[in-house]
Structure 1
Amino acid sequence: MSLLTLIITINKADLALSQTLEKSQNSNIENLSQVNSLTPISNIVYKPIKIDGREIFKVAAIAGQEIQGNSNTSPLNIRVKLYENNLRQTIKNCFDADTLKLTLEIQENQTLVFASDAEELKNQELIAIRDLDAQIHGISREDLANQIIGFMRDALIRAQRERKPDYLFRQFLISIGIILALILLSFLISILQKYYFNRYQKLQKLIESLKLSYPQIDELRNNQQLSTVKPELTLGQKQQLIWEQQQDKNYFFRSLLQVIHIILWLCGIGWILGNFPYSRWLQIFLLSYAMVLTTIISTYLIIQASPVIINWFAINSFQRLETETSVQRTVSRAITFSHTLQGIVMFTLACLGILLVFQNLNISLIIILVGLGIISLTVSLGGHNLVKDIISGILILVEDQYAIGDIIDLDYTIGYVEDMNFRVTQLRDSGGRLSTIPHGNISTVHNLTKDWASIDLRIKVNLDTNLSLALKLIKQVTNELINDASWGDKILEHASILAVNNVSQTEVEITIRVKTIPRKQWNVAREFCYRLKQNFERENIAVNATITSKYRS
């Protein structure tokens, strides 16, 4: 509403002038203040004559007539300053609006316009219309002069009326009301922003708690949001993606509120500036950059909305991935590409927005692109490590060396991949430490959770234990787990009894290897030990089981 009111307020005066001009119009020219109505001449330049920021008509001159190369001292600029000073002086003299009269004096090479009234204003010279001025408008000098004096008189009367104390006081009260309304709207927007920010923080805590629980994510199986999804379809990662999408939506709404806040204040300030004749030129100056501001704001909002759209596509792809093979690996790669694409899309949109801004500022895009090419070449030569990191990151993604959610061993650090982009990978170890590693520094990657995982169990029994019975009970536990609805799809093969590893004076050690889906080996091993202990107790067999793995959860 504020924006529409501002537009109506700004255009109201121009509409009144246009209506006056149409009544007095005797030729095919539609609006003298519009540039597109001018006859284009290559060696002629022109500038507008304005009263309180409102254009009256344009004066012309031959291009390249600056004095000593100074464009401010060109004949055209001198004429513009002289005529505008004459108009301001006429307004300052407080003429009688009822008897104000504009007259013409036709000379050989120009037509002079004079102002006079029934009181003290006597033949005040205002402007001089020359043949070149009429030429750019495509009409004769006489017709141009007759058209100008009609709306120039109205413009002078309006300018004088807007300087009267009662008018200024009324506009002052309106401006105070606008400021109070803006303060109230700002307060309401701040309340909404605080509400969204509190929700954002809650989602952030949920995501952090979920990351800390990796790879222990079985408790999410009963989450209502995931009731239609297969229990083992990387529930933790999908839940994280859902919460991240909610975070992105939250951040977008907060950004939208910020933009609305800025637009309201810009519109309010523009409205206030247009209320007073002394500051109206600032309003017109702001409006001249409206397209630039619109481009910046639109680009900003599109950038903030892009993560929401990308995550939406990633989440909806889960339904298709459920029926495919290697579901878990495909889901991990989809999440990884989702995170990476966000940065690429945001960077691309920002570059396009900058180019559009330069285009709206009438800056040559060729110059900008050449400059960007030089900067890119300089960065590539001076920042070879950055280029190396990006190229290595692209190869990691394309070759599927690892993805978000994988547990990897880089020799010097080990942990699960919490986040990654084209330049760096972030690893969270079991102690909670987050390591950021440039891709250019990665030489060897040990992926502990790609395609399948295994874990070794060292089962120790007393020396006098019946080994045949013990092995039978171990196989029985394996069959129970495979046939169990909650655990069967986690185990890829029957547990392999590798060998009797060690025999001491008191114990016999049996090694068992369990092959599972990625990141489930520890949960399966714990459940295996729990059931094995129960079965051994029923047969009065003492057992001591140790879970062996390079990475301990």
Structure 2
Amino acid sequence: MFLFNRFLYSIIRFVLVSVMTIAMVLGWSAIAHSQLPLLPTAASNDPHKPPSGVTRLGMYEIASVHSPLDRNLLFEIVSPTVFNRSQPPDGSLPVEVRAEEITQRLMRALDRTNKAKQTPLVSIAILNKGLILQLSDDQTTRPLRLVTVTDPDADYYGKTLEELAQDWQKILQAEVERINRLFSHKVLLQRIWQALQISIGLVLGSVMLWLLRRTLIRKQTALQVRHQEHIAAVKQDVVKRSEAETSTTIHTIETSENKTEPDTIADGRSHFLEMIQHQFSLKRQLGIYSLLTLLLFWAFILMWYIGIVVIMYRVPYLMRWWTQAVARPLALLIIWFFISLVIRIGKTLIDRLTDVWITHPSLPLSETQRIALRAATVSGALKGLITFVFITLGILQSLNIFNMPTSSILAGGAVIGIAISLGSQSLIKDLVNGCLILMEDQFAVGDVIEIGDKSGLVENLNLRVTQLRNNEGKLITIPNSNITNVSNLTRFWSRVDFSIVVAYENDPKQVLEILKQVCKQLYREVEWRDRLPELPQVLGIDDLSHMGMLVRVWIKTAPMEQWNVGREFRLRVRQAFEANNIQIERKLRIVSRKRII
């Protein structure tokens, strides 16, 4: 059932991506082909500048006339320059209006050509003492006027009106014959069959890409399983080596400690670095698989895009949209492909730098472990920043493609940003203080800290908030701007501050000796040796009062191990005192009862 659900999910996502690709190409082509007004830009708002697609050469303005079939260039028309389009002179028609009129007439000619049984003819005629080109067919007795040949046209081409009319007649007649040939029954069926073959090829190619993607996902899963097995094997090897080292140190504890402590630290560091290096090697391999998955996704998009464009170019009914499908949709695909690729490369570089940072050979083991915790927070913040910056750049570049004034958007965004910043100064404080926490390494994810009256394990740290999990399991969220004083209980190392009050009837030297024996015994055992960087220190008698003698012991532990070590040490002290008849002061409870009474 699980495999069937995953298969169904993959099929649904495959269909959705295919539909989105087709909709993007066809939808944009339809929008570009429709005669919608352009978005306002600096050029279109200025009536003294020619619009897009119009070239001004002194007293003349030039525009292009395209084929109604596939938007190929046929010829250029010329009109007198209109210096102020908001108030054009009487009897003067702007060249873009004339070009649009000719385009609409050619569209009507396309419909007539499709319906005609014989190839229509383009002829030269005279209308109102001017030369025109008209289309005659067998469907109607009235010819369709296509183009009027004007004096500015002839002057621009350096020909007479008759010569230019003959040239344009040949061009339009060849275009009409091409349209009539493409829409013939035989050619039309051939082109539709080719489009069907391309569609089948797209489906087969999509299935192959989907199978490759599933193979990559399986390899990623197998790689993660091997990584977990390797970590478990390394930890087990560390335990075995520690037991072997301890077995050789039974005779004299002092000699064994002086002999094995540097070796133990070096060996522990080497195993820790081995785990870190293996972990980052896994990340590099997973990054390669992730990059290949990304490339497969874009190969899928590009394959469908090219296939749709080719189909639109081959099928006569779709040829009018293929040039628009090649222009801006392709630019959008290129932009977002490089944006995603740059983001992926940036994240990979961050992982590489983090790997070098953690596995630096000159760092001690405690510092390496600390940096390993800090690196996850810093790399996560940097990856989020890179993603935000490049996605913003991609959006702005996409707006430029659609001729939207990004300068106005940025200016408006700056004004809105100032207004928001004035209304949310605490948010800015949170971000600034979050950056300072990361740079100064006050704490990281995995540390146990105290912030005011709140304490707990740091589960999440970002530039905005810090989240703690306390002893009761509550998740405490603290804005970074409220963090002023922080007590880090697990930075590099921790400590158990053990103190106990014993009665005056006990021999002080005997009490201190028993505590030293308990410390040595705990430090010697394999289970606790990796949690104790050094032998616990019995400081001595720290206070004398009417309740008894206060004896203090300092136990330096690995980060996060002070609670486990403290519990075990208290249990062993209680058992040792009971075995040696050491009396713990009991008068404190009696005194407190008298005070309550």
State the TM-score, normalizing by the size of structure 1: 0.69
In structure 2, the partner of 1:93 is 116
324, 329, 333: which one aligns with 1:285: 324
In structure 2, the partner of 1:156 is 176
54, 59, 69: which one aligns with 2:77: 59
In structure 2, the partner of 1:549 is none
131, 148, 153: which one aligns with 1:128: 148
Contact 2:381 2:462 in 1 (8 A): yes
In structure 2, the partner of 1:495 is 537
Q: Does 1:319 align with 2:339?
A: no
Alignment of 1:453-468 (within 5 A): 453-457=494-498, 466-467=510-511
Alignment of 1:378-393 (within 5 A): 378-393=419-434
- What is the CA–CA distance in structure 2 between the aligned matches of 1:430 and 1:235, rounded to whole Å? 33
Counterpart residue type for residue 385 of structure 2: I
CA RMSD of aligned residues (A): 5.3
| 1:414-434 deviation digits (Å, cap 9, x = unpaired) | 333344222223445567665
**Secondary structure of 2:269's aligned partner:** coil
In structure 1, the partner of 2:262 is none
Deviation at 1:283, TM superposition (A): 2.3
Counterpart residue type for residue 65 of structure 2: P
Contact 1:408 1:449 in 2 (8 A): yes
64, 79, 96: which one aligns with 2:102: 79
- What is the CA–CA distance in structure 2 between the aligned matches of 1:175 and 1:383, rounded to whole Å? 57
- What is the CA–CA distance in structure 2 between the aligned matches of 1:520 and 1:220, rounded to whole Å? 21
Q: Taking structure 1 as reference, are residues 231 and 219 closer, same or farther at Cα in structure 2, changes over 3 Å only?
A: farther
Q: Does 1:113 align with 2:133?
A: yes
Alignment of 1:279-358 (within 5 A): 279-289=318-328, 290-320=330-360, 322-323=362-363, 326-358=367-399
Q: Does 1:515 align with 2:556?
A: yes
- What is the CA–CA distance in structure 1 between the aligned matches of 2:481 and 2:224, rounded to whole Å? 30
Deviation at 1:459, TM superposition (A): 7.7
Deviation at 1:147, TM superposition (A): 5.1
Contact 2:69 2:110 in 1 (8 A): no
State the TM-score, normalizing by the size of structure 2: 0.65
Deviation at 1:340, TM superposition (A): 1.1
- What is the CA–CA distance in structure 1 between the aligned matches of 2:303 and 2:78, rounded to whole Å? 39
Greater Rg by CA: 2
- What is the CA–CA distance in structure 2 between the aligned matches of 1:418 and 1:240, rounded to whole Å? 21
491, 509, 512: which one aligns with 1:450: 491
Deviation at 1:121, TM superposition (A): 9.9
In structure 1, the partner of 2:437 is 396
Shifted more, 453-462 versus 65-74: the winner is 65-74
Counterpart residue type for residue 354 of structure 2: A
Q: Taking structure 1 as reference, are residues 469 and 408 closer, same or farther at Cα in structure 2, changes over 3 Å only?
A: closer
Q: Does 1:263 align with 2:283?
A: no
Counterpart residue type for residue 132 of structure 2: L
Contact 2:522 2:529 in 1 (8 A): no
| 1:44-71 deviation digits (Å, cap 9, x = unpaired) | 3624332213222233444466899999
In structure 1, the partner of 2:26 is none
Q: Taking structure 1 as reference, are residues 234 and 543 closer, same or farther at Cα in structure 2, changes over 3 Å only?
A: farther
- What is the CA–CA distance in structure 1 between the aligned matches of 2:158 and 2:403, rounded to whole Å? 27
Contact 2:458 2:467 in 1 (8 A): yes
Contact 1:95 1:121 in 2 (8 A): no
Structure 2 residue ranges without an equivalent (≥5):
1-51, 241-265, 584-597
Q: Taking structure 1 as reference, are residues 520 and 137 closer, same or farther at Cα in structure 2, changes over 3 Å only?
A: farther
| 1:94-135 deviation digits (Å, cap 9, x = unpaired) | 434xxx765556899965335679999997654333344466
Alignment of 1:84-233 (within 5 A): 84-96=107-119, 104=124, 111-114=131-134, 125-133=145-153, 148-194=168-214, 230-231=269-270
- What is the CA–CA distance in structure 2 between the aligned matches of 1:114 and 1:329, rounded to whole Å? 84
Contact 1:478 1:495 in 2 (8 A): no
Structure 1 residue ranges without an equivalent (≥5):
1-34, 545-553
- What is the CA–CA distance in structure 1 between the aligned matches of 2:469 and 2:518, rounded to whole Å? 35
Deviation at 1:341, TM superposition (A): 0.7
- What is the CA–CA distance in structure 2 between the aligned matches of 1:255 and 1:285, rounded to whole Å? 27
Contact 1:51 1:159 in 2 (8 A): no
Contact 1:49 1:59 in 2 (8 A): no
Counterpart residue type for residue 164 of structure 1: S
- What is the CA–CA distance in structure 1 between the aligned matches of 2:95 and 2:127, rounded to whole Å? 28
Contact 1:407 1:447 in 2 (8 A): yes
Deviation at 1:236, TM superposition (A): 8.1
Shifted more, 55-64 versus 388-397: the winner is 55-64
Q: Taking structure 1 as reference, are residues 234 and 283 closer, same or farther at Cα in structure 2, changes over 3 Å only?
A: same
| 1:22-77 deviation digits (Å, cap 9, x = unpaired) | xxxxxxxxxxxxx9997755873624332213222233444466899999994442
In structure 2, the partner of 1:473 is 517
Counterpart residue type for residue 473 of structure 1: Q
Counterpart residue type for residue 112 of structure 2: Q
Q: Taking structure 1 as reference, are residues 437 and 131 closer, same or farther at Cα in structure 2, changes over 3 Å only?
A: farther
| 1:372-392 deviation digits (Å, cap 9, x = unpaired) | 212322321333343232122
Aligned length: 494
Contact 1:321 1:330 in 2 (8 A): no
- What is the CA–CA distance in structure 2 between the aligned matches of 1:428 and 1:109, rounded to whole Å? 92
- What is the CA–CA distance in structure 2 between the aligned matches of 1:302 and 1:291, rounded to whole Å? 16
**Secondary structure of 1:456's aligned partner:** strand
| 1:303-355 deviation digits (Å, cap 9, x = unpaired) | 34432331122113333364479444445444432111111111111121122
Shifted more, 169-178 versus 407-416: the winner is 407-416
**Secondary structure of 1:278's aligned partner:** helix
Shifted more, 118-127 versus 80-89: the winner is 118-127
Deviation at 1:284, TM superposition (A): 2.1
Counterpart residue type for residue 445 of structure 1: V
Contact 2:354 2:375 in 1 (8 A): yes
- What is the CA–CA distance in structure 2 between the aligned matches of 1:142 and 1:421, rounded to whole Å? 77
Q: Taking structure 1 as reference, are residues 431 and 294 closer, same or farther at Cα in structure 2, changes over 3 Å only?
A: farther
Higher helix content, 1 or 2 = 2
**Secondary structure of 1:51's aligned partner:** coil
Q: Taking structure 1 as reference, are residues 283 and 164 closer, same or farther at Cα in structure 2, changes over 3 Å only?
A: same
Q: Taking structure 1 as reference, are residues 74 and 208 closer, same or farther at Cα in structure 2, changes over 3 Å only?
A: farther
Counterpart residue type for residue 155 of structure 1: E
Give the share of equivalent positions with the same residue, in percent. 23
Contact 2:69 2:179 in 1 (8 A): yes
| 1:459-504 deviation digits (Å, cap 9, x = unpaired) | 89998794354144145447748xx999479526752435478999
Counterpart residue type for residue 174 of structure 2: D
Q: Taking structure 1 as reference, are residues 90 and 181 closer, same or farther at Cα in structure 2, changes over 3 Å only?
A: closer
**Secondary structure of 1:230's aligned partner:** helix
Alignment of 1:399-418 (within 5 A): 399-411=440-452, 413-418=454-459
| 1:506-535 deviation digits (Å, cap 9, x = unpaired) | x998542112453354566678789x78x9
Deviation at 1:172, TM superposition (A): 2.4
Contact 1:86 1:125 in 2 (8 A): no
**Secondary structure of 1:170's aligned partner:** helix
**Secondary structure of 1:113's aligned partner:** strand
Contact 2:116 2:138 in 1 (8 A): no
Deviation at 1:90, TM superposition (A): 3.9
